[in-house]
A and B are shown apart, each in its own frame.
Chain A
């Protein structure tokens, strides 16, 4: 083992990011499935929540994820033009443009919030994306427990 590896495995407190991914059923979920059936190895830090379409994703879902303990959120769906419901992802795209700026203004920035288009054929892209995001979030550290979006224990 190299010195750095020793440090990582010795530390009982190594931070493992908890990442929630809101993905659409027809593209990204299928792409993640493909990553699995292709036996690609990638970071296990993502909890996937499947929705029929990114157009179904209410920005409140993103907030609830941070509220409940997520260190980061990924939102992913079909490429423009490929939406199973024709235009759901176009609606989602507009929402995300505005919502990510609003979250950035109020203290949740782009180190914590990621968006992607991953098609059903892009198993490798999904795996690479998760690895990349997990690395970035590990570097950014745990979501600040004093952030106003995070649910506090009742005293």
Chain B
């Protein structure tokens, strides 16, 4: 097997960069760990989950998808090629990789998103097995696991009590990555460390079932009270994928942009005629939960949440998807009111 010392991840990053990969890894920046493009000198940290997800590199915050040159009343389109830079998503988490199942589906469902697909094809996904989890992690409640290999091209497994990593290829892309790694990963033996304990937090099937019958429940207001309607959770979420199209023009150039959007924003469903079918945060939170745990499962037989917990860690107002699901699951278990 191929192993590397745990403190030599930057050597691996450097080797991959020399081999032509754009290396994305969890980088420390003023005390915050963020998935970002690795450059010489950057510190890679694997002890805490990064605040952002791997989604940022397959579906970026803002992307140009159309471009025109303008000349008076004339305009001519310019060729816009999707970014297909060969990229390695190094030491992301299994919950990031699990999300790719949904993103791959959504971006190839009613239309094929060339921009997502180009980046996706060019990406080699290398999750790191989680050997630690915190209160907000709940991958095991949504069909995931700290050592899940779904959508991974290779896995980094902590070994020998954290002193080493095993780099295990799983696909052709993974094999190519190992070739490119060269001496940065050497032949050797190591014993994989056990993955983190992530306690089961709620019964997701009970949640999905309750959702199908309780659209009008008063519980929605109670559950959503803390939410102030920003986009922090949707932006950090590895599965959230809504976007807004925006055209920006000067006298000489026009671009069409795809920008992240959030169903939490007050005007997300504002109609041109003035009506808003989701006029308050109660309705918007209900939508958020139902999208992830009811509509997506119904349509795609997948969950819209991978239990990474980023939303809860970021939310200053104390909203937590796992807490909400727990309360829904508890509610679903209450005995129905006695009717005589």
Contacts and interface: CB of A to CB of B under 8 A. Distances in A.
Given a CB threshold of 8 Å, the question of whether A touches B is answered with yes
A141 interface: no
B255 A154 contact: yes
Interface centre among A153, A154, A155 (most CB of B within 10 A): A154
A153 B255 CA distance: 10
B253 interface: yes
B115 to A, nearest CB: 14
Contacts of A155: 64
Contact-residue bracket for chain A: under 10
A64 to B, nearest CB: 11
A154 B67 contact: yes
A151 B250 contact: yes
A68 B250 contact: yes
Contact of B64 (A68, A151, A154): A154
A154 B250 contact: no
Contacts of B250: 68, 151
A154 B255 CA distance: 8
A68 B251 CA distance: 10
Nearest to A69: B250
Interface in A119-155: 151, 153-155
A68 B250 CA distance: 8
A151 B249 CA distance: 11
Contacts of B253: 153-154
Nearest to B62: A154
A13 B67 CA distance: 30
Nearest to A151: B250
A154 B62 CA distance: 11
A107 B253 CA distance: 27
Instruction: With a 10 A CB-CB cut-off, give which of B64, B67, B250, B253 has the most chain A CB atoms.
Output: B250
A89 B198 CA distance: 63
Interface in B130-167: none
Contacts of A154: 64, 67, 253, 255
A68 B255 CA distance: 15
A154 B64 CA distance: 8
A68 B64 CA distance: 19
Interface in B40-79: 64, 67
Contacts of B64: 154-155
Contacts of A153: 253
A155 B253 CA distance: 12
Contacts of A68: 250
B302 to A, nearest CB: 34
A155 B63 CA distance: 10
Nearest to B80: A154
Nearest to A153: B253
B284 to A, nearest CB: 28
B107 to A, nearest CB: 22
A68 B252 CA distance: 12
A155 B64 CA distance: 8
Given A154-B253, A154-B255, 6 more contacts: A68-B250, A151-B250, A153-B253, A154-B64, A154-B67, A155-B64
Top-8 shortest CB links A-B: A154-B255, A154-B64, A154-B67, A68-B250, A153-B253, A154-B253, A151-B250, A155-B64
